[in-house]
């Protein structure tokens, strides 16, 4: 119990200190992740919940649905947690979760002037909770079965005596990396990225804004530098932010539908 209290005290201290200076203070809490950023717990959140700097970040931090959804994907990608420790080199990461396509993550790293872009794709969308759809849809059944999910058919009797048939896809957090590529970028590529990052005014953007469309894609972009850390969450953004994501897709060499 005392150890837990010490962790909470450290988190609160980190929060109050960080709110009073421009530099980000990486908390370096060993219970969260190891020195390489890999989480100690498969259920760990990948986005800071203890440094809310404005109302939108507080809103996101309290939303366990989004935190768990995004973190489940990053855990399947075997990605490091970026907010807890500075990992020795700058990293810019774009987690791309589209409604009708496989999850992808792009990680742009600057290690002593060597710029690399790592691209990974999962074989399916990890599900951290049961998902139901109605009415019965053989096409969806086929897709989920091909991806290895367990389906349960259920029939509910309604108040009017009629029945409602629907399917439950059982939660399964597993996901396997089917594409993993790292390439070295040119100075021109790096300049294009940095220029777009500046044009987005990334460091002054509100961390969280969700448009609320029925379909679309979650775009989660993180910046992890020696003095700063920030994430932003958007749904199918436009403008310079979209161009930033499009650039990473282009540089990766993947041919993907962008939305």
State the average pLDDT over residues 25-50. Answer: 92
State the average pLDDT over residues 124-151. Answer: 90
pLDDT of 6 over the 60 cut:
no
Q: What is the pLDDT of residues 156-168, one digit of tens each?
A: 887 787 888 889 9
Give the span between the Cα atoms of 126 and 76, in whole angstroms: 8
Instruction: Report pLDDT for 61.
Output: 74
Instruction: Report pLDDT for 26.
Output: 93
Instruction: Report pLDDT for 51.
Output: 61
Task: Check if the beta carbon of residue 122 is closer than 8 Å to that of residue 175.
Answer: yes
Model confidence, pTM: 0.85
Please state which of the ranges 103-107, 131-135, 146-150 shows the lowest mean pLDDT: 131-135
Instruction: Report pLDDT for 48.
Output: 84
pLDDT interval class at 214 (50, 70, 90) = confident
Highest mean pLDDT among 15-19, 103-107, 211-215: 103-107
Q: For residue 13, what are its two tokens?
A: 């201290």
pLDDT interval class at 19 (50, 70, 90) = very low
End-to-end CA distance of the chain: 46
Instruction: Report pLDDT for 53.
Output: 66
Secondary structure, 3-state, the chain: CHHHHHHHHHHHHHHHHHCCCCCCCCCCCCCCECCCCCECCCCCCCCCCCCCCCHHHHHHHCCHHHHHHHHHHHHHCCCCCCCCCCCCCEEEEEEEEECCCCCEEEEEEEECCEEEEEEEEECCCCECCCEEECCCCHHHHHHHHHCCCCEEEEEEECCCCCEEEEEEECCECCCCEEEEEEEECCHHHHHHHHHHHHHCCHHHCCCECCCCCCCCEEEEEEEECCCCEEEEEEECCCHHHHHHHHHHHHHHCCCCCCC
Instruction: Report pLDDT for 134.
Output: 82
State the average pLDDT over residues 18-37. Answer: 81
Shortest CA distance to 56 belongs to which of 216, 231, 213, 188? Answer: 231
State the average pLDDT over residues 75-96. Answer: 97
Task: Check if the beta carbon of residue 169 is closer than 8 Å to that of residue 129.
Answer: no
């Amino acid at each position: 119990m005392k150890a837990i209290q010490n962790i909470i005290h450290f988190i609160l201290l980190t929060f109050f200190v960080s709110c009073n200076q421009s530099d980000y203070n990486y908390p370096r809490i060993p219970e969260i992740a190891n020195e390489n950023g890999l989480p100690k717990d498969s259920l760990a959140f990948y986005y800071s919940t203890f440094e809310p700097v404005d109302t939108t970040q507080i809103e996101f931090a309290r939303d366990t649905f989004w935190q768990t959804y995004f973190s489940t994907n990053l855990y399947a990608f075997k990605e490091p947690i970026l907010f807890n420790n500075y990992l020795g080199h700058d990293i810019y990461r774009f987690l791309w979760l589209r409604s009708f396509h496989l999850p992808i993550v792009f990680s742009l790293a600057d290690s002593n002037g060597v710029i690399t872009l790592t691209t990974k794709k999962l074989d399916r969308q990890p599900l951290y909770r049961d998902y139901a759809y109605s009415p019965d849809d053989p096409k969806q059944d086929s897709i989920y079965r091909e991806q290895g999910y367990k389906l349960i058919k259920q029939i509910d009797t309604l108040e009017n005596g009629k029945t409602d048939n629907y399917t439950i896809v059982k939660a399964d957090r597993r996901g396997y990396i089917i594409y993993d590529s790292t390439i070295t970028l040119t100075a021109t590529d790096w300049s294009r990225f940095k220029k777009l990052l500046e044009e987005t005014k990334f460091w002054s953007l509100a961390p969280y804004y969700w448009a609320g469309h029925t379909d679309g894609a979650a775009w989660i972009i993180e910046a992890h530098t020696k003095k700063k850390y920030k994430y932003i969450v958007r749904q199918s953004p436009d403008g310079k932010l979209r161009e930033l994501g499009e650039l990473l897709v282009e540089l990766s060499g993947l041919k993907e539908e962008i939305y």
